[in-house]
């Protein structure tokens, strides 16, 4: 890895990504020695709810032989006393060998990383980035489709506030994928992300209707409408439920089309999709463990040198 901190998919090169995915595949085939990182402690600082990301990072460090130090719920942390994030991470740096941060403010991980020397991993900063989700998304796509080259990917739902979308779009651009973004106009890609994608030569099209592209897709990546980031509850209610797929929607899809979702899902994917050959979202969630193990293994090994 050429970066100690993992903040944005924008700064992960194709080679960095391939290194992590190859290591994850190795780990999947042959689990590493249980004492490989026996002396390593991973701090988990989550200022926003999480099930998968939190638990899979904890599983990953434990399966590498290390341990997790959990800050615990934000209500019982010193943040409630008014401590700044910069001070919190400077303190935690003295306890742990690497730090995973989730925070509701976009840019929080970048800012915090400027205060610490241990590797800091962004596990989601508001509507910003979620680069490790992208690594496991790409791993899932590579396992299902055989390769990351020549993919046609549809990304549907909350493209405005969905940080998994922003990270994934940057990474897919590095693999020269064709990207179709499907959303209501009010939830289309933020201007800054669209600009970055165009600047880096992305092959992208934007649509308001899935029907226009479903037949072409190798992957359909569905996302949740991010209720917690909507400034206006009424606007949320109007839109939620509009971009929903079920087994009937997928009748027009290619047989090999892989349906993914970072989870949690609310209503975006009907339960009748779960039993189809398209459903890959639970496998995707499970891939979080080997992929986060691979990333931690690489970051912590570098740190030991």
The angle at the Cα of 135, spanning 131 to 137, to the nearest 5 degrees, equals: 110
Q: How far apart are CA 74 and CA 49, in angstroms?
A: 9
Q: Compute the least distance from the CB of residue 4 to ligand NCD, in Å.
A: 22
CB closer to ligand NCD out of 103 and 178? 103
Residue with tokens 């880096």: 200
Q: Compute the least distance from the CB of residue 21 to ligand NCD, in Å.
A: 18
**Secondary element (H or E) of residue 137:** helix 131-145
The catalytically annotated residue of 5, 10, 23, 53 is 53
State both tokens at 4: 């100690």
Cross-strand pairs, 60? none
Residue 263 is labelled as binding a ligand: yes
Residue 254 is labelled as binding a ligand: no
The catalytically annotated residue of 3, 19, 36, 52 is 52
Cα-Cα end-to-end distance for the chain: 13
Active-site residue flag, 286: no
Residue 265 is labelled as binding a ligand: no
From the list 296, 297, 298, 236, the residue with the least C-alpha distance to 266 is 236
Residue 81 is labelled as binding a ligand: yes
The catalytically annotated residue of 29, 81, 191, 305 is 81
CB closer to ligand NCD out of 119 and 162? 162
Residue 152 is labelled as binding a ligand: no
Q: How far apart are CA 79 and CA 252, in angstroms?
A: 50
Q: Compute the least distance from the CB of residue 295 to ligand NCD, in Å.
A: 15
Tell me the residue ranges of DSSP E strands in the chain: 41-46, 67-70, 98-103, 120-125, 152-156, 178-182, 203-207, 219-222, 258-260
Q: Compute the least distance from the CB of residue 252 to ligand NCD, in Å.
A: 25
Active-site residue flag, 36: no
The catalytically annotated residue of 5, 23, 37, 102 is 102
Residue 52 is labelled as binding a ligand: yes
The total number of residues written for the chain in this structure = 305
259 within 8 A of 300, measured Cβ to Cβ: no
CB closer to ligand NCD out of 5 and 163? 163
54 within 8 A of 46, measured Cβ to Cβ: yes
Q: Is 258 exposed, middle or buried (0-12, 13-18, 19+ CB in 10 A)?
A: buried
The rounded Cα 29 to chain-centroid distance in angstroms is 23
Residue with tokens 């839109």: 239
Q: Compute the least distance from the CB of residue 276 to ligand NCD, in Å.
A: 21
Active-site residue flag, 102: yes
Residue with tokens 């990351």: 148
The contacts of residue 143 (CB under 8 Å, 6+ apart) are: 283, 287
CB closer to ligand NCD out of 5 and 130? 130
Position of minimal CB gap to ligand NCD: 224
The catalytically annotated residue of 37, 63, 103, 130 is 130
CB closer to ligand NCD out of 52 and 254? 52
Residue 134 is labelled as binding a ligand: no
CB closer to ligand NCD out of 46 and 93? 46
Cross-strand pairs, 100? 44, 121
Q: Which residues bind ligand NCD (CB under 6 A)?
A: 52-53, 124, 130, 133, 163-164, 224, 262-263
- Give the annotated binding-site residues for carbamoyl phosphate: 52-53, 102, 130, 133, 263-264
Residues marked active site are found at 52-53, 81, 102, 130
- Give the annotated binding-site residues for L-aspartate: 81, 163, 224
- Give the annotated binding-site residues: 52-53, 81, 102, 130, 133, 163, 224, 263-264
């Amino acid at each position: 890895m050429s970066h100690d901190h993992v903040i944005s998919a924008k700064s992960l090169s194709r080679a960095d990504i391939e290194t992590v995915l190859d290591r994850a595949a190795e780990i999947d085939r042959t689990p590493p020695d249980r004492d490989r990182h026996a002396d390593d402690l991973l701090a988990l600082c989550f200022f926003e709810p999480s099930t998968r990301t939190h638990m899979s990072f904890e599983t990953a460090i434990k399966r590498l032989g290390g341990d997790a130090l959990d800050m615990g719920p934000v209500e019982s942390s010193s943040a409630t006393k008014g401590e700044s994030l910069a001070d919190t991470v400077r303190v935690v740096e003295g306890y742990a060998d690497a730090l995973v941060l989730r925070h509701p403010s976009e840019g929080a991980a970048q800012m915090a990383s400027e205060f610490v020397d241990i590797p800091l991993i962004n596990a989601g900063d508001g509507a910003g980035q979620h680069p490790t989700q992208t690594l496991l998304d790409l791993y899932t796509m590579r396992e299902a489709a055989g390769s990351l080259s020549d993919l046609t990917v549809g990304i549907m739902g909350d493209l405005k506030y969905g940080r998994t979308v922003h990270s994934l779009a940057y990474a897919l651009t590095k693999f020269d994928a064709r990207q179709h973004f499907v959303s209501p106009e009010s939830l289309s890609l933020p201007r800054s992300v669209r600009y970055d994608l165009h600047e880096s030569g992305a092959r992208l099209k934007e649509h308001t209707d899935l029907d226009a592209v479903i037949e072409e897709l190798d992957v359909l990546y569905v996302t949740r409408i991010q209720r917690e980031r909507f400034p206006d509850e009424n606007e949320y209610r109007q839109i939620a439920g509009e971009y929903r797929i079920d087994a009937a929607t997928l009748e027009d899809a290619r047989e090999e089309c892989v349906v993914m979702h970072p989870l949690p899902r609310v209503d975006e994917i009907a339960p009748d999709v779960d039993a189809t050959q398209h459903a890959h979202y639970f496998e995707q969630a499970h891939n979080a463990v080997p992929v986060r193990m691979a990333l931690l293994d690489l970051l912590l090994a570098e740190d030991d040198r």
